[in-house]
């Protein structure tokens, strides 16, 4: 599991979701959880600074979180000390069998060395009748995906990085689908929120240069100047004007796998 401590100082700002969208996402996740007269118990793997967990708690869900990044957890503890968090790895959960009604993964599966092992472990701590939930944001028709693909291509040329051409979200989706198939359960997918995002091409390049996104961490610092030299004119051609705000939709999706 990859630690996000290196971006703890800017994580909330660079991954911000509008408050009304956060509430909508939390309500949609909470609606998937079984209820028997008590608050549903949910484990979030990779809870980080609580971007998803805090609105879930506000929606009446009993959230426990794990993460391996102490600086990220420290930020969450400073904001909401009542949320129970542990420093632990996804493939070695320190919980008893059937401890939770649900286990939630948001933007973390692609960062795990063995996503399948983590999902099997998650299943072992989930009660019968509970659910495994995989949440993520996607950017339909946004320049971000095209830029990420071109960035990976240049990084491979410059540094010989052994990169999976499917990209992180595709890898994570494949892992979740495989785990559901192994457990002989059918998954369902739903778009729970959609909202507009504004970004300039220059801001996008600045985020690459600052290694804000986990997809950039594999790129050696030594090749970053040349990568940016090649990537900048390509992005300029793509967006037309590096300083013109680009507006595109972002969506939040959930894939749900019931546990029988």
Per DSSP, the residues of 235-258 read: HHHHHS-TTS-EEEEEEEEEEEEE
Mean pLDDT of 179-208: 84
Would you state the pLDDT for residue 73?
Answer: 95
Kindly state the tokens that stand for 138. 């996607």
Would you state the pLDDT for residue 83?
Answer: 96
What are 90-143's pLDDT values in tens digits?
Answer: 989 999 999 999 999 998 888 888 888 888 899 999 999 999 999 999 887 777
The answer, yes or no, to whether residue 76 has pLDDT greater than 90, is yes
Domain 5-140+166-198+247-258: which CATH number of 3.40.50.150, 3.10.20.30, 3.40.50.720, 3.90.1150.10: 3.40.50.150
Would you state the pLDDT for residue 224?
Answer: 95
Would you state the pLDDT for residue 143?
Answer: 74
Per-position b or e across 144-157, b if 16+ CB within 10 A of its CB: beebbebbbebbee
Exposed (0-12), middle (13-18) or buried (19+): which is 108, by Cβ within 10 Å? buried
What are 8-28's pLDDT values in tens digits?
Answer: 888 888 888 899 999 999 999
Rounded Cα–Cα distance for residues 62 and 38 (Å): 9
Task: Please tell me the least confidently modeled range out of 14-23, 151-160, 161-170, 220-229.
Answer: 161-170
Would you state the pLDDT for residue 167?
Answer: 60
Would you state the pLDDT for residue 163?
Answer: 56
Kindly state the tokens that stand for 49. 């600074």
Residue 78 CB partners (closer than 8 Å, separation 6+): none
Domain map of the chain by residue range?
Answer: 5-140+166-198+247-258
What are 230-256's pLDDT values in tens digits?
Answer: 999 999 999 999 999 888 889 999 999
Would you state the pLDDT for residue 26?
Answer: 96
Kindly state the tokens that stand for 85. 């968090």
Would you state the pLDDT for residue 87?
Answer: 95
Would you state the pLDDT for residue 196?
Answer: 92
């Amino acid at each position: 599991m990859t630690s996000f401590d290196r971006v703890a100082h800017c994580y909330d700002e660079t991954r911000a979701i509008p408050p009304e969208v956060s509430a909508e996402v939390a309500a949609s996740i909470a609606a998937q959880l079984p209820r028997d007269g008590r608050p549903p118990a949910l484990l979030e793997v990779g809870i980080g600074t609580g971007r998803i967990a805090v609105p879930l708690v506000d929606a009446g869900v009993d959230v426990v979180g794990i993460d391996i990044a102490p600086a990220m957890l420290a930020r969450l503890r400073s904001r909401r000390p009542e949320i129970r968090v542990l420093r632990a790895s996804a493939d070695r959960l320190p919980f008893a069998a059937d401890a939770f009604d649900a286990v939630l993964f948001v933007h973390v599966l692609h960062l795990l060395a063995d996503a399948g092992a983590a999902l099997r472990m998650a299943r072992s701590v989930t009660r019968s009748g509970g659910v495994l939930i995989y949440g993520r944001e996607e950017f339909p028709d946004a320049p971000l995906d095209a830029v990420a693909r071109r960035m990976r291509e240049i990084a491979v040329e410059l540094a010989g990085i052994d990169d999976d051409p499917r990209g992180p979200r595709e890898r994570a989706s494949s892992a979740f689908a495989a785990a559901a198939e192994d457990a002989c359960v059918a998954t369902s997918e739903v778009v729970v929120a959609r909202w507009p995002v504004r970004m300039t091409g220059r801001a996008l390049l600045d985020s690459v240069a600052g290694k804000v996104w986990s997809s950039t961490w594999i790129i050696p610092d030594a090749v970053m100047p040349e990568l940016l030299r090649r990537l900048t004119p390509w992005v300029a051609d793509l967006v037309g004007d590096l300083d013109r705000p680009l507006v595109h939709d972002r969506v939040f999706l959930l894939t749900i796998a019931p546990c029988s």
